[in-house]
Amino acid sequence: MLSDGVRTITAGGVDHWVRVAGAGNAGVPLVLLHGGPGESSYSIEKSVGDEIANLAPVVFYDQRGCGRSERAPGTYTMSRLVADLDDLRAALGVERIVPWGVSYGCLLAAEYAVAHSNHVDGLILHAPPITDPLHPGVWAMRPAAVDPILTPAERTAFRAQLEPLTDPIERTLAAIGAIAQSSNAIGFFYYDPANIPADDPEAPESNLEMALALVGTERPDLVDDLAGVDVPTLILAALWDRHVGFDLPRDLAARLPQATLEIFDRSAHSINDEEPVKYVESIRKFLGR
């Protein structure tokens, strides 16, 4: 039986920070799979986490090398993260889970569902960067997503910087650098600047090594495998999401046989910060299916 509280669980030889909330609620536990890659569960946990835990048991954890979990240099692969998640599930003593993926965490949720469908009761995918094999991919599209946000002078400099670059990862890094230095940067991250959370000194730092190890390693046929799993899936998509875009989650919903698409028209990538009430309500409706 699950019990509320923070604990350390060793999975794949790495100590993971884990927090369970809402253990007394009925239902299959949701397991939050944070994004990045290399970020932590902290921001989701602090925004809508406990509201979701009022609906069902929720397991928050930081992936290996992330946030409050142990660093594990040289071990950052998707197969390892999938194995860690199954070790955590077994250690918590639960037979079935609902992976709740956020951004890059949706890839982990999908890979887990494909590898361990017998342990998956459903999926919640917030801004899933899961592409069709014919799509150029999120990272290849990143410069095009950044370009409209820049000032005219920034745009000219950015396009000149991209001209000699052909590698998608190099072009992605250039785009990230352009946004980081742009006077219009906030428009890339939020629909309404008033929704930006205050700086939190307790928020863990990201793990750049993990990010560089995993970016661009997505399987192009993942969407085909996921469509064959056939589990109820809630897809949360924002119209103003420039990280993932709106087309990807919309098209994913069209591919999955039991998908529900919830559209947020006043949000960018961080739907949980911009439309938290609707976010929680969408998950409540999905769990009560």
Percent of the chain with pLDDT over 70: 100
* Strand segments (E) across the chain: 5-11, 14-21, 30-33, 58-61, 98-102, 123-126, 233-238, 259-264
111 band by pLDDT with thresholds 50, 70 and 90: very high
Dist. CA 243–CA 269, nearest whole Å = 6
287 band by pLDDT with thresholds 50, 70 and 90: very high
CB 233 within 8 A of CB 259: yes
- Does the pLDDT of residue 1 top 90, yes or no? no
Cβ neighbours, 10 Å, residue 200: 10
Domain ranges of the chain: 5-135+202-287, 138-184
As a whole number, the mean pLDDT across the chain is 96
Question: Who has greater pLDDT, 247 or 289?
Answer: 247
Dist. CA 62–CA 38, nearest whole Å = 9
CATH of 5-135+202-287, one of 3.40.640.10, 3.10.129.10, 3.40.50.1820, 3.40.50.300: 3.40.50.1820
Q: Is the overall model pTM greater than 0.85, yes or no?
A: yes
CB 81 within 8 A of CB 193: no
- Does the pLDDT of residue 130 top 70, yes or no? yes
**Residues 41-66 pLDDT 10s:** 999 999 999 999 999 999 999 999 99
Task: Check residue 169 and give its pLDDT.
Answer: 87
Task: Check residue 289 and give its pLDDT.
Answer: 67
Task: Check residue 82 and give its pLDDT.
Answer: 98
273: Cβ contacts below 8 Å, ≥ 6 apart: 43, 47, 190, 195, 196, 197
- Does the pLDDT of residue 164 top 80, yes or no? yes
**Residues 223-274 pLDDT 10s:** 999 999 999 999 999 999 999 999 999 999 999 999 999 999 999 999 999 9
CB 259 within 8 A of CB 229: no
